C-alpha cells in the first residue's frame, strides 16, 4: 500500500529577485552549511557560522549573505536539511545537482532560465547560448524592471551556476549545452524533494528534471526502475506508490545517513 499523502507546507518561490547576483550555487559553502546544521541539529545563525568559521575566512557580510540564501534554499523543505546534514559519502556530482535543484526552488528566474530557456536552445537548430541572448531573454521575462548592468550581472551569475551544474560546457561565448549525467540516487532525492513541495508541472515533466536534460519519457522510464518511487504506468496514467513517507525515511532506509542521523528509523 502507498504511504499516506504528504502535506505540502512549502512552495517553490515565484516572486523574481536578484539574490543570484550575490550567491551562485556555492557548492562547497553549501556542503559546509549542511554539515554544521547536522552537528547543530538544525539551522544555524550567521553569528554561529562566522564565529566557527564554517565558510573559512570569509567576512561577516559574506557569511550573512550565504546564511540568508541558504535559509531560502535548504531550510524550508521538511526533511531536506536533516538529510543533507547527515548524508555521508555523497558523490560530488550528486552534490552539485542537489545545490542546483535547491537553487531552482528558491529562484524563479534561474529555474526558468535553466529549465525552459536553455532546454529550448538545446533543441533548436543552433544549440548554443551567449550572454547577449541570455540578457535579451531576461529583459523579455522582466521588461524594464532592472538596469542593463543588473541584468548583465544576473545573467553572468546564472551562467556560472549552469556551468557548475554541468548544463553549460564553457565560460566563453558561444556556450554549448551538454547537460549533466544524473544518477538514480540524485533523481530519487529530487522526486522525494518535489513530493513535499508545491510546484508547477508534474513529477515527470517540470523545470527541475528538464534542466538536466531529462524529458518526461526518459524520467518515466528511469523511475519505473527505482523501487523507492514505485512508479507504474498504464497507458497515459502514471501512479506513484512511494515506498517511504519522506526524504528522511528514504535516506535512512537506503543507508545514506551517518550514525547521528540513522536513529530516525525507516517507516
Q: Is residue 260 part of a domain?
A: yes
Instruction: Tell me the residue range of the domain where 207 lies.
Output: 184-264
Residue 215 belongs to a domain: yes
Q: How far is CA 189 from CA 80, 119, 182, 209, in A?
A: 9, 22, 11, 12
Give residue 267's pLDDT band: very low, low, confident or very high (50, 70, 90).
very low
Q: Is 6 a residue whose pLDDT tops 80?
A: no
- Residue 221 inside a domain? The answer is yes
5 has pLDDT over 90:
no
Report the chain's mean pLDDT, rounded to a whole number: 93
> What is the per-residue pLDDT across 119-144, written as a single tens digit (0 to 9) for each?
999 999 999 999 999 999 999 999 99
Positive or negative torsion for Cα 209, 210, 213, 214: positive
Note whether residue 250 is domain-resident: yes
Residue with cell 557548475: 164
Specify if 236 maps to a domain: yes
Q: Could you tell me what percent of the chain has a pLDDT over 70? A: 94
In a domain, 141, yes or no: no
Polymer length in residues for the chain = 267
Stretch 208-235: mean pLDDT, rounded?
A: 95
263 falls in which pLDDT band (50, 70, 90)?
very low
Quick: pLDDT tens for 20-40: 999 999 999 999 999 999 999
Q: What is the pLDDT of residue 236?
A: 80
Look at residue 261 in the predicted model and tell me its pLDDT. Answer: 41
Residue 72, in any domain of the structure: no
Q: How many domains does the chain fold into?
A: 1
| pLDDT higher than threshold 70 for residue 149 | yes
Pairing of strands 197-198, 10-11: parallel
Question: Is residue 6 in a domain?
Answer: no
Predicted local distance difference test score (pLDDT) of residue 258:
87
Amino acid at each position: 500500500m502507498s504511504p499516506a499523502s504528504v502535506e505540502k507546507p512549502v512552495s517553490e518561490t515565484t516572486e523574481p529577485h536578484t539574490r543570484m547576483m550575490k550567491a551562485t550555487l556555492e557548492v562547497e559553502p553549501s556542503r559546509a552549511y549542511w554539515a554544521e546544521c547536522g552537528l547543530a541539529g538544525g539551522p544555524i545563525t550567521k553569528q554561529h557560522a562566522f564565529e566557527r568559521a564554517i565558510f573559512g575566512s570569509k567576512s561577516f557580510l559574506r557569511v550573512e549573505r550565504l546564511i540568508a540564501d541558504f535559509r531560502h534554499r535548504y531550510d524550508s523543505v521538511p526533511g531536506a536539511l536533516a538529510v543533507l546534514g547527515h548524508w555521508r559519502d555523497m558523490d560530488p556530482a550528486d552534490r552539485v545537482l542537489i545545490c542546483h535543484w535547491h537553487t531552482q526552488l528558491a529562484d524563479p528566474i534561474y529555474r526558468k532560465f535553466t529549465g525552459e530557456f536553455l532546454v529550448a536552445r538545446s533543441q533548436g537548430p543552433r544549440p548554443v547560448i551567449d550572454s547577449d541572448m541570455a540578457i535579451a531573454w531576461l529583459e523579455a521575462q522582466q521588461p524594464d524592471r532592472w538596469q542593463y548592468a543588473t541584468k548583465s550581472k544576473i545573467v553572468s551569475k546564472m551562467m556560472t551556476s549552469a556551468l557548475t551544474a554541468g548544463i553549460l560546457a564553457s565560460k566563453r561565448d558561444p556556450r554549448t549545452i551538454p547537460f549533466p549525467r544524473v544518477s538514480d540516487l540524485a533523481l530519487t532525492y529530487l522526486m522525494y524533494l518535489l513530493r513535499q513541495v508545491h510546484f508547477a508541472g508534474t513529477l515527470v515533466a517540470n523545470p527541475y528534471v528538464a534542466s538536466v536534460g531529462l524529458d518526461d519519457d526518459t524520467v518515466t522510464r528511469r523511475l519505473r526502475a527505482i523501487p523507492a518511487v514505485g512508479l507504474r504506468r498504464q497507458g497515459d496514467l502514471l501512479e506513484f506508490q512511494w515506498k517511504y513517507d519522506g526524504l528522511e525515511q528514504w535516506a535512512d532506509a537506503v543507508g545514506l545517513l551517518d550514525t547521528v542521523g540513522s536513529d530516525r528509523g525507516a517507516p
